[in-house]
Amino acid sequence: MKIYHNPRCRKSRETLKIIQENGIEPSIVLYLEDKLSEQELTTIIKKLNISAFDLLRKTEAVYKENYKGKTLSEKEWISAMLKHPKLIERPIVVKNKKAVLGRPPENVLSLL
């Protein structure tokens, strides 16, 4: 199990705690520091079964200033998230071929 984690985010911390309370020590990816590859982000989006646009944090200033109201392709949204990792919704938990967003944190229970 792997969690794409931002320790400054309450939902991310709560999701990690639920995983650990269930006896699992996941691999932790600090995606704001260790940037994702295009392939890795594309794979995550497929496992989440959502579009790249649906993974965007639309409340971030970088979204509002640079992307709000724009119609981009899937690949262009992925490029935007790679350029600005803050745009990636968090946390993301991946286990084998499935992934969930930890919003709410209890979503992770479906992977345990």
Cβ 12 vs Cβ 91: under 8 Å: yes
Domains and CATH numbers, the chain: 2-111 (3.40.30.10)
Please tell me the pTM assigned to this model: 0.95
Known active-site residue 91 = no
- Considering the candidates 4, 5, 7, 9, report the single residue annotated as catalytic: 9
Q: Give, for all 112 residues of the chain, the pLDDT tens digit.
A: 999 999 999 999 999 999 999 999 999 999 999 999 999 999 999 999 999 999 999 999 999 999 999 999 999 999 999 999 999 999 999 999 999 999 999 999 999 9
